[in-house]
Amino acid sequence: MLFSSMTFLFVFLPVTLAVYYLAPAQMRNLVMLAASLFFYAWGEPVYIILMLLSILMNYYCGLDIDGKRNSPQLARRSLIFAVAANVLVLGFFKYYGLIMETVNGTLPVDIPYRVLPLPIGISFYTFQALSYIVDVYRGEARAQKKFTWFASYICMFPQLIAGPIIRYVDIEEQLRQRSFGIVKFGRGAMFFIRGLAKKVVIANSIGTVYEQVMQLPVGTVSVLTSWVGCLAYAFQIYFDFSGYSDMAVGLGKMFGFEFRRNFHYPYVSKSITEFWRRWHISLSTWFREYVYIPLGGNRCGGQRNMVNLILVWALTGLWHGAEWNFLFWGLYYGVLLILEKHVWGALMDRLPGVIQHIYTFVLVMVGWVFFFSPDLGSALDYIGMMFGMGASALADRQAVFLLTTHWLLFLLCILGSSSIGWTILRAFMESYKKGRTQRIMSCVIYMGIFLVSVAFLVTETFNPFLYFRF
């Protein structure tokens, strides 16, 4: 079940909210758990058993580690077991096909195997479970003794499918007690509506431009057309994923929770380092806290630091997908971050801001090619076209047609991917006198955005969600 579906908007969400707020305060975590399990079972009726087993295992592992605080060696053994079990489950379902394909391709064998469908959200809820286990071991959190509360944390439906990845220490107190109110609910609804519009109105629309470019025969694509296709994908994945994250944050507020933002206008960045501080913030934070810093972080020497960065970004790439191009994508960013940190970072800081923006945006565009290509060879071919190798021409009628017929959509993408769009919307609402009139106009504007989004849902058949792959 997608947030951007009629079933969710007009059946699941209203019913869940009604039951949640009518239930006694001490029963609301149970209501959230039941709703989350139903939400997951709607799309993955088989793999819900896998998620429940993961919850049970991590619940008892957390209690076991917590009970061994006075025996560091025993606690460490329990930690190793829990981490290994989580990694093995994730690795089996996500990378079994890649491993077997690689073995059959490199060795003189032909081992039969079956490609397993990837359980939805397994990368996200596994990482949340790992953060919980490690935080309990570190003493940063106490093991949750109430099973329903712990299960609610792992499979909370607002962020179950695509994050943001939530650390247990950030939500521990909220499971016990959280604030409610019409103001907080209203802010949550506004977040949700903005995210819905990002996904349905912008991401789906610009995604059709990307699909048009991808359907062009090989050898007929010009340099300009290839850049238009890549740009369209860059906007599609941003509005798709950030829109879904905004909906998750908004839903959290509507149910009394506070989740941290997951995106902060990444395309305005002046460096690759800054880009990854703004893009998928919860994932970057997770890898920093649970992989990079334990490996030594910035405390170790230059060579060791480079190795740590390469390792972290190789894992980041593989987390996104079980294909060699995802690994290359991760290594690509690892190398760029090393170069910024140890080679040309100081030089870049002295360049004009516009040059820094262009530098970052071009490198990010190249990175997205590895991300959307079916394999590494296809990615390299497409990048070659972007820089004139294998392209049919510098520009062609197809590129002009796409730009002239979709210029307003591209303008909307530019405004929406920076703070300019939100600034314009907020300024318009604040142009009315503060008080009742402003509140009424805000309601009218957001209701209008919601109705437009619903209209797009009703009339469109193109409604993919890119991060279902991960």
Contact status, residue 223 vs residue 145, Cβ threshold 8 Å: no
Q: Is the peptide bond before 24 cis (omega within 30 degrees of 0)?
A: no
- Alpha carbon distances (Å) from 392 to 217, 233, 389, 401: 11, 21, 9, 16
- Between CA 369 and CA 380 the distance in angstroms is 8
Contact status, residue 261 vs residue 281, Cβ threshold 8 Å: yes
- Between CA 331 and CA 337 the distance in angstroms is 10
Residue 274, amino acid: E
Which DSSP letter does residue 217 get? P
Contact status, residue 126 vs residue 90, Cβ threshold 8 Å: yes
Please name the residues in contact with 448: beta carbons below 8 A apart, sequence gap of 6 or more.
Answer: none
Looking up tokens 């303008």, which residue turns up? 411
Ramachandran category for residue 280: left, alpha or beta (phi over 0 → left; psi -120 to 50 → alpha): left
Contact status, residue 155 vs residue 36, Cβ threshold 8 Å: yes
Sign of CA dihedral 218, 221, 223, 227: negative
- Between CA 388 and CA 212 the distance in angstroms is 20
- Between CA 276 and CA 271 the distance in angstroms is 9
- Is residue 406 part of the annotated active site? The answer reads no
Residue 365, amino acid: M
Angle at 467 between CA 459 and CA 33, to 5 degrees: 90
- Between CA 279 and CA 274 the distance in angstroms is 9
- Between CA 166 and CA 72 the distance in angstroms is 27
Query: Which listed residue (264, 280, 320, 357) is catalytic?
Result: 320
68: helix, strand or coil? coil
Catalytic residues: 320
